[in-house]
Amino acid sequence: MMTFKNWILEFIDVNLPIGDLAKDVNFDNNFPNTSDKEVISEYLQNQGAFKDALETFEHSWKLYSSSR
């Protein structure tokens, strides 16, 4: 199964918030390489992610979940 990190990186060239999130993930060597939503959500919150980034993650997670 593809992890969220690997999945989101497919959107790195998209000029939308999902692409911005993909770019952030790409530059973050410590971003969790997992399919566990809670681990990723907690990581983003601990890193001080802004509300918009957290909302983009939630939306992206729905797309990711529906693609599995």
Q: Give per-residue pLDDT as tens, 14-52.
A: 999 999 999 999 999 999 999 999 999 999 999 999 999
Biggest distance spanned by C-alpha atoms of the chain = 29
CATH number belonging to domain 4-67? 1.10.150.260
**pLDDT at res. 68:** 79
**Nearest-5° angle of CA 45, CA 49, CA 51?**
100
**pTM exceeds cut of 0.75:** yes
Q: Where are the domains of the chain?
A: 4-67
Q: Which of 4, 67, 2, 1 is nearest to 39 (CA)?
A: 4
CA-closest candidate to residue 44, choices 36, 68, 11 = 36
